[in-house]
Amino acid sequence: MCCSSFLKVIMFIFNGIIFLAGVAILAVGIWAKVDSSSLMNILSTGNAELPDKVFQMDYVSYVFIAVGSVLLIMGFLGCCGAITESKCMLLTFFSIVLIIFLVEVAGAIVLFVFSDLVRMFKDSSCFLFQFQCCGYRNYTDFDNSQFVAQNGGVYPDQCCRPGSRCSAGEAASSNVDGCFDKLVKLLEDNAVIVAGVAVGIAALEVAAMVVSMILYCNIGKKSS
């Protein structure tokens, strides 16, 4: 009984943190979707490198909403399942964590075993401010894009030298690297940190599944 009560408390605290994180991320996602301009004004405060318009913000908001919703549901199921001793909630929580864990394992296999195929993947074209990069491969990913059309043929500032009007010719002469290569290099340079974080997250997920199953089985013993 003492061990079961301790596991309940741990489960409640752990999932309470997940729930609050989910609420925060979901709120930011909704804010970015409804009023992206005010959010970008806050993010650009003190950072002159951010442009006035960010075409990708709409997609970022959907990612935040999706991640926040999943975390919120997980946290709710974990907290309520542990406190109310609901087998249905605990089993649902276990299933969600297991699915996420399997997806992460599959993603790791794709990244490390089929790295050559990942490098050939060219479906998206985004730019990242942190890496000072342009497009997925280079500036040509923005050719005929909605961003360029809405800005009178001007490419994102990250595609050109600072202080210049970023036309197609200027972007070509600036020769700014694509974001995918920079992201790959960042991951390679920080492989130990990335691996450590991945192992830590996986350990937490396994621990959460084990605890939820222990509580689930204890409920079955009590009912019998």
Residue 60 has pLDDT above 80, yes or no: no
Beta carbons within 10 angstroms of residue 56's beta carbon: 14
- One-letter amino acid at 157 equals D
Q: Where are the domains of the chain?
A: 1-113+198-223
Kindly report the pTM of this predicted structure.
0.59
Q: What is the pLDDT of residues 90-140, one digit of tens each?
A: 999 999 999 988 888 887 776 666 555 455 444 444 435 455 778 777 888
Judged by DSSP in three states, 57 sits in: helix
What pLDDT was estimated at residue 48?
A: 43
pLDDT band at 222 (very low <50, low <70, confident <90, very high): low
Print burial letters for 97-136: b (CB count within 10 Å at least 16), e (below 16).
beeebeeeeeeeeeeeeeeeeeeeeeeebbbebebebbbb
Phi-psi sector, 138: left (phi>0), alpha (psi -120 to 50), beta: beta
Structure-token pair, residue 95 = 């299933």
For residues 131 and 122, the answer to whether their CB atoms sit within 8 Å is no
Name the average pLDDT for the chain: 77
Beta carbons within 10 angstroms of residue 84's beta carbon: 12
